[in-house]
Amino acid sequence: MIFSFDLIYSQVANGLIMGLIYALMAIGVTTIFSIMKMVNFAHGEFYMIGGYITYYASTQFAISPFAALVLAFVCVFGIGALVERTLLRPAYTGAIERPGEYAIIITFALSITLVNGALAVFGPFSKGPPQFELPGITFSLPAVPQDRFVSCLTAIVIVVAVLIFINKTLIGKALQATAQDRESAMAAGIDTNRMSQVVFGLGTGLAAAAGSILGPVFMVYPDMGFSVAMKAFVIVILGGLGSIRGSIVGAILLGLIEGLCMAFISPAYRDVYAFIVLIAVLALRPRGLFGEKVRAV
C-alpha cells in the first residue's frame, strides 16, 4: 500500500465523479420501485441501449452528443413504456400470484435477452462514441479527466431537471401521490396504471441518459450495463428504496467508499467493494439511510 496523497485524492475524486453519474441510474431504479414496488433488473440494459443509440446517432448521423442524449432518452422512454405495458402490467393488476418473484424473473430474463441480443446484433467489440464537449469549459478538477468532468456536469443538470419535474409539475405530483398511496391516488382520479408506465419510461430513459453520458468514457459494448446496474442497486439500497434523496446521497457515499477502498486496498476489486457495502446494509440496516422502516426486508 502506498500512502500517497495524490493517489488517494485522484481515486476519491474520480470515485465521486462516477458516483454522481451512477446517481442517474439509481434515481431511475428508486422511482420505479416507489411506484411499481418492483426492482427493475434490466435497468443496466436500458443503459446499454442508450449507449448504442448515442453511438450510432453521433457517428452515423453526425449529430451532437447532447442531441444524441436527448434522442436516446426519448427512444428508451418509449421502449420502457412498451415493456411496462406488455410484460409488467400484470404484476400489479392482480393477474399473477406472487408478483414479486414474477417481476424479478421477468426483468432478469429481459436483461439476459437484451445483452445477448446486443451481442448478436452489434458484436462483442467496444465502440467509442465521441466525447461530450462544451465550448466554454476547458477546465476540470485536478486529476479528473476533462471528458468525465463534462459528463458529470451533464448528469448533475439532468438530476436537477428530474427533481424539478417531480416536485413542481402536475405529473410529478401525481407520481408522488401514486408512490405514497396507490389506492388513494386512484380515488383522487389519477390513472395509476398510466403513472406506472410514465415512471418506468422515465426511469429507463434516465438509465439511457447515463449510458449516453458514460459511453464515451468507458466505451460501448453489450454487457456494459451489468456492473453499472449493480452499483445502482447498491446505491438504491444504501440510500433507501423509494427515496430520491437517498439515491443521491447514497451515490456520493458509494463513490467515496469505492475511491477510498481502491486507494487503500486494491483497484482491481472495485466491483467487490460495492457488494460488501450491499451485504453490510442488508444485514445491518436494511431500510438504508432514508428508507421507510420495514418489518421484514
Partner 1 sequence: MSYLPTGSYMLHLTIMLFYYVIMASTYNLLFGYGGQLTFAHVALAGSSGYLSGLISLQLQVSPWLSMPIAALIIAAISYAMALVCLRMRGPYLALATLGFAESMRLIVAIEYKYTGGMMGLSVPYLLRTDSRIPYYFIALALVMLALYVVHKVVKSRLGLFIRAIREDEDVAPIIGIDNRSVKVKTFTISGFFAGLSGAFIGHYLHVLSPDNLQINLMVMVIAMVVVGGLGSFVGPILGAIVVYLSSEYLRATLGAYHFMIFGLVVIVLMRYARGGLVQLLGRFRVRISSALHERR
Contacts of 205 (CB under 8 A, 6+ apart): 28, 46, 73, 74, 76, 77, 80
CB atoms within 10 A of CB 214: 27
Choosing from 6, 100, 169, 194, the residue that interacts with partner 1 (CB under 8 A) is: 100
Choosing from 114, 158, 166, 262, the residue that interacts with partner 1 (CB under 8 A) is: 114
Residue 170's Cβ-count burial label (10 Å; 0-12, 13-18, 19+) is exposed
Which region, judged by CB under 8 A, interacts with partner 1, from 6-14, 105-113, 167-175, 246-254? 105-113
| Cell numbers linked to 264 | 487503500
Contact call for residue 265 and partner 1 (CB under 8 A): no
Choosing from 24, 36, 38, 48, the residue that interacts with partner 1 (CB under 8 A) is: 38
Q: Which is nearer to partner 1, 218 or 226 (CB)?
A: 226
Contact call for residue 101 and partner 1 (CB under 8 A): yes
Choosing from 233, 244, 254, 291, the residue that interacts with partner 1 (CB under 8 A) is: 233
Rounded to whole angstroms, the Cα distance separating 208 from 50 reads 4
Rounded to whole angstroms, the Cα distance separating 165 from 169 reads 5
Contact call for residue 105 and partner 1 (CB under 8 A): yes
Considering only CA atoms, give the Rg of the chain. 19
Distance linking the first and last C-alpha atoms of the chain: 38
Q: Which is nearer to partner 1, 145 or 286 (CB)?
A: 286
**Smallest distance from the beta carbon of 161 to partner 1, in angstroms?**
28
Choosing from 106, 214, 228, 235, the residue that interacts with partner 1 (CB under 8 A) is: 106
Q: Which is nearer to partner 1, 143 or 280 (CB)?
A: 280
Q: Which is nearer to partner 1, 85 or 140 (CB)?
A: 85
Choosing from 61, 165, 264, 275, the residue that interacts with partner 1 (CB under 8 A) is: 275
Contacts of 33 (CB under 8 A, 6+ apart): 39, 40, 236, 241, 242
**Smallest distance from the beta carbon of 226 to partner 1, in angstroms?**
8
3-class SS of residue 64: coil
CA 247 to chain CA mean position, Å = 10
Residues near partner 1 (CB under 8 A)? 38-39, 41, 87, 90, 96, 98, 100-106, 108-114, 116-117, 119-120, 226, 230, 233-234, 237, 268-269, 271-272, 274-276, 278-279, 282-283, 286, 296-297
